Amino acid sequence: MSDKSTKTTEILEKQRAHLWPNHLLYYTEPMPLERGDGLYVWDVEGKQYLDFFAGILTTSVGHNNPKVNKRVHEQVDKLLHTSTLYPSENHVTLGEKLAEITPGDLNTFYFGTSGTDADETAVMIAKIYTGYQEIIALRHGYSGKSPMGMALTGQAPWRIGGTQIAGIKHALTPYCYRCPLKMTYPSCGVACAEDVEDVIRTSTSGKIAAFLAEPIQGVGGFITPPAEYFAIVQEIVHRYGGLMIIDEVQTGFGRTGEHWFGIEHAGIAPDVMTMAKGIANGLPLSATATTPEIAQSTASAGLTISTFGGNPVSTAAALGVLEALHEDAPPARSADVGAHLRAGLERLSEKYPLIGDVRGRGLMQGVELVLDRETKEPAPKQVAAIFEATRSLGLLIGKGGLYGNTLRIAPPLTATKEHVDEAIEKLDVAFARVQETV
Ligand SMILES: Cc1ncc(COP(=O)(O)O)c(C=O)c1O
């Protein structure tokens, strides 16, 4: 056994001994990663991988991005921590810079440390502002690992401990490939959007604090609603007294192409928006954005602190991310490289019957695998086989979906068309191997 494989073995032994077993690990033989550069990462054995999952859509501008790292290094040498009790320049500058790219009037922020934290904060402000308590979320959605995050989540496997919270109801999700109403878009007239009104009228007190949803359901398997869906829902939500909370944790920062935020494809501005993951290229940071009017409602509501919220190092990284996005990877570029990725995946779909659906926007593309295109029987075992094959070929991808049968492909936004070609080539080889076994 080489030194390196001893290191892998050692790390995995310590993982088993000291980390809880509910840490989900990818691959039958999980590989500890040691370093990264741009689109590539290396494991402790020295094997190189092309990273098309970006640490769950988080390394938005590539590993070890020099613009991010320079600011992080400078800040580390000055001051690591203040807490939200003291104003800090990075904290307020980040608010100012984010306000330049957020839709509508969403130019005030509360910074936290995770997507879960941001969604919790969004629900808190919706309750304060409206005076109502009930929340509508979507089936197949994902909102995080706190008790409320899990209760908002519309997938049983992620609601560990059976967590439920009164006052949270789930409406049908606009999952066109498996339409819950057995209808077909566009002749359906986006009928699923009306279910939000039905749920409010039948399962709540009739007034809600908020509706919370992702523009594209990430953990749900990149379920991509028709463009009209959110405008219909927003009208309903406002009519019943609620705020529209849009979770941009996965879809933010140009990931979906053309626009800075995924909801902008729907042509609406939400009342509250949450961001995390790609905001700081991997450092823990999140933001909840809202309008000055809604933010003002917190002024006399009580006390809030966040020990790590707006941390100077994380906010320095976020300022570097914005600089890198503006200069090197703006939304128009994600749209262009994303279209190239989509075309490559469509070509694979013509070749391999295992592929039932290709969906998504920009550099956020999902590939749903089925055993039979007619019955649409999910193919989770084949997803597992594609995973092992791509790993051996040196390509990292993600997976998701309630049925465990969707590949999630989402590289750093700095990916080039050449990187996409390399990924498609490896996927082609992997699919050829796995299709044979079906
Ligand atoms: C859409 C969405 N919201 C919230 C979260 C929770 O984020 P975190 O894991 O940073 O708490 C996630 C995490 O995957 C997510 O995808």
| 334 CB near ligand 1 (under 6 Å) | no
Asked whether 209 and 133 are in contact (CB, 8 A), the reply is yes
Residues 145-154 have a mean pLDDT of 97
247 CB within 6 A, ligand 1: yes
C-beta of 357 in contact with ligand 1 (< 6 A): no
In this prediction, residue 92 has a pLDDT band, given cuts at 50, 70 and 90, of very high
Give the chain's end-to-end CA distance (angstroms, integer). Answer: 35
Q: Taking all residues of the chain, what is their mean pLDDT, rounded to a whole number?
A: 97
CA-closest residue to ligand 1 atom 8: 115
Query: Which of 5-38 are b and which e, b meaning 16 or more Cβ less than 10 Å from the residue's Cβ?
Result: eeebeeeeeeeeeeeeeeeeeeeeebbebeebeb
Which residues lie below 8 Å from residue 356, measured CB to CB, with a gap of 6+? 177, 368, 369, 370, 373, 376
- The position carrying tokens 């953990």 is 219
User: Is any atom of ligand 1 closer than 6 Å to the C-beta of 143?
Assistant: yes
Please, are residues 285 and 111 in contact by the beta-carbon 8 Å criterion?
Answer: yes
Which pLDDT value is given to residue 355? 98
How far, in Å, is the centroid of ligand 1 from the Cα of 106?
20
Average confidence (pLDDT) over 141-151: 97
Locate 296 and state its tokens: 């003002």
Please give the torsion angle defined by the CA atoms of residues 285, 289, 293 and 297, in that order, rounded to the nearest 10 degrees. Answer: -50
Is the pLDDT at 391 greater than 70, yes or no? yes
Strands 210-213 and 243-247, how do they pair?
parallel
Q: Distance from the CA of 376 to the center of ligand 1, in angstroms?
A: 28
Query: What average pLDDT score do residues 408-430 get?
Result: 98
Q: Given a cut of 80, is residue 2 above it in pLDDT?
A: no
Kindly tell me if the per-residue pLDDT of 1 is higher than 50: no
CA-to-CA distance for 341 and 50, rounded, in angstroms?
14
Best substitution site from 56, 249, 251 to test ligand 1's pocket, by max atoms within 8 Å of Cβ?
A: 249
Backbone angles phi, psi at 289, to 5 degrees: -105, 145
404 in Cβ contact with 383 (< 8 Å): yes
Kindly indicate the confidence band of residue 330, based on its pLDDT and cuts at 50, 70 and 90: very high
At residue 365 the predicted structure's pLDDT band, cuts being 50, 70 and 90, is very high
User: Residues 64-73: what's their mean pLDDT?
Assistant: 98
Going from the Cα of 144 to the center of ligand 1, the distance in angstroms, rounded, reads 5
The rounded Å distance from CA 356 to ligand 1 centre is 26
Q: Answer yes or no: is the C-beta of 250 below 6 A from any ligand 1 atom.
A: yes
Please list, in sequence order, all residues whose beta carbon lies within 8 angstroms of the beta carbon of residue 413, skipping any fewer than 6 positions away: 60, 61, 253, 254, 255, 278, 325, 329, 333, 334, 363
Nearest-angstrom CA–CA distance, 121 and 156:
23
Ligand 1 atom at minimum distance from 56 CA: 14
Q: For residue 150, with 0-12 CB atoms within 10 Å meaning exposed, 13-18 middle and 19 or more buried, which class applies? A: buried
How much is the pTM? Answer: 0.98
pLDDT given at position 5:
75
- pLDDT band, residue 121 (cuts 50/70/90): very high
Q: How many CB atoms lie within 10 A of CB 291?
A: 18
Structure tokens at 157: 């496997």
Distance (Å, whole) CA 42 – CA 33: 6
Phi, psi of 33 (to 5 degrees): -95, 145
Q: Which two tokens stand for residue 29?
A: 């033989």
Distances (CA, A) of 355 to 43, 141, 173, 219, 222: 29, 23, 21, 19, 15
**Domain annotation for the chain: domains and CATH numbers:** 3-60+330-435 (3.90.1150.10), 67-328 (3.40.640.10)
Pocket test for ligand 1, best of 142, 245, 279, 288 (most atoms within 8 A of CB): 142
